[in-house]
Chain A
Amino acid sequence: DTGVSQDPRHKITKRGQNVTFRCDPISEHNRLYWYRQTLGQGPEFLTYFQNEAQLEKSRLLSDRFSAERPKGSFSTLEIQRTEQGDSAMYLCASSRPGGFIDGYTFGSGTRLTVV
């Protein structure tokens, strides 16, 4: 296992288009997180899955955003009707059970630019 993979690495889209990002966590990690990072800021929590269950969503996750983890493995984050303010780095992380003992593993992120 080579770590947390995110695809694509970069995405440029026109305002109003829909985009979907994918995250493949480390296989034995049952927890998966999405964060968003805008320029010059630290990452902000978006949502969190334990297996296939989405347990928490941030208020930052407007109704244009939806995340799924259908089989408890990979996850997708979809943004509908993109706006320029959605331009950011979208980071995925995963952790194993008993997560308070282990650290997180982050993916390299998907950089979204909405033009």
Chain B
Amino acid sequence: KNEVEQSPQNLTAQEGEFITINCSYSVGISALHWLQQHPGGGIVSLFMLSSGKKKHGRLIATINIQEKHSSLHITASHPRDSAVYICAPRGFGNEKLTFGTGTRLTIIP
């Protein structure tokens, strides 16, 4: 069993739809990152959270530490949101990230 599982693996939606990407992890963590990766490899850190909820523009991230689960939501999705979204928990003590395999999101105009 992978330490970090994301669902769905692929998601295609129409522009304007509300998007939810889920992440479950099996180990204790100090924090969790949501990352966005565009074709060509560039990775952008969207959120780092250790509890509750964070919002940035149309993006919302939530985490439930007890249930070992996090979600990333995108409101009013747009074609430019098309990318791979990666969940990456951070362990205690060390600072390394363990990455999920990502969710490939495609928003159709």
In the complex the two chains form, is B99's CB within 8 Å of A100's CB? no
Interface centre among A33, A41, A42, A95 (most CB of B within 10 A): A42
Pick from A31, A35, A42: contact of B102, CB below 8 A: A42
In the complex the two chains form, is A100's CB within 8 Å of B41's CB? no
The size class of the interface chain A forms with chain B is 20 to 34
In the complex the two chains form, is A108's CB within 8 Å of B42's CB? yes
A-B CB pair tally, cutoff 8 Å: 63
Q: How far is the CA of A95 from the CA of B97 in the complex (A)?
A: 12
Interface residues of B in 6-53 (CB under 8 A from A): 30-31, 33, 35, 40-45, 47-48, 50
| A51 in the interface (beta carbon within 8 A) | no
In the complex the two chains form, is B42's CB within 8 Å of A106's CB? yes
Chain A residues, CB < 8 A from B90: 100
| A1 in the interface (beta carbon within 8 A) | no
Q: Digitize A70-97: 1 where CB-to-B-CB distance is under 8 Å, 0 elsewhere.
A: 0000000000000000000101010100
In the complex the two chains form, is A111's CB within 8 Å of B45's CB? no
Interface residues of A in 16-37 (CB under 8 A from B): 31, 33, 35, 37
Q: How far is the CA of A55 from the CA of B96 in the complex (A)?
A: 11
| A65 in the interface (beta carbon within 8 A) | no
Chain B residues, CB < 8 A from A40: 101
Pick from B33, B41, B45, B94: contact of A37, CB below 8 A: B41
The residue in chain B whose Cβ has the minimal distance to the Cβ of A4 is B43
| A99 in the interface (beta carbon within 8 A) | yes
Contacts A42-B101, A100-B50 given: A106-B96 contact, CB under 8 Å?
no
Q: How far is the CA of A20 from the CA of B77 in the complex (A)?
A: 40
Chain A residues, CB < 8 A from B71: none
The residue in chain B whose Cβ has the minimal distance to the Cβ of A99 is B95
9 closest Cβ pairs, A-B complex: A42-B99, A106-B43, A103-B45, A109-B41, A103-B48, A45-B96, A42-B101, A43-B99, A108-B42
Can you show 8 pairs from A to B with CB atoms below 8 A apart?
A: A33-B96, A42-B4, A42-B100, A45-B97, A56-B96, A91-B41, A106-B43, A108-B42
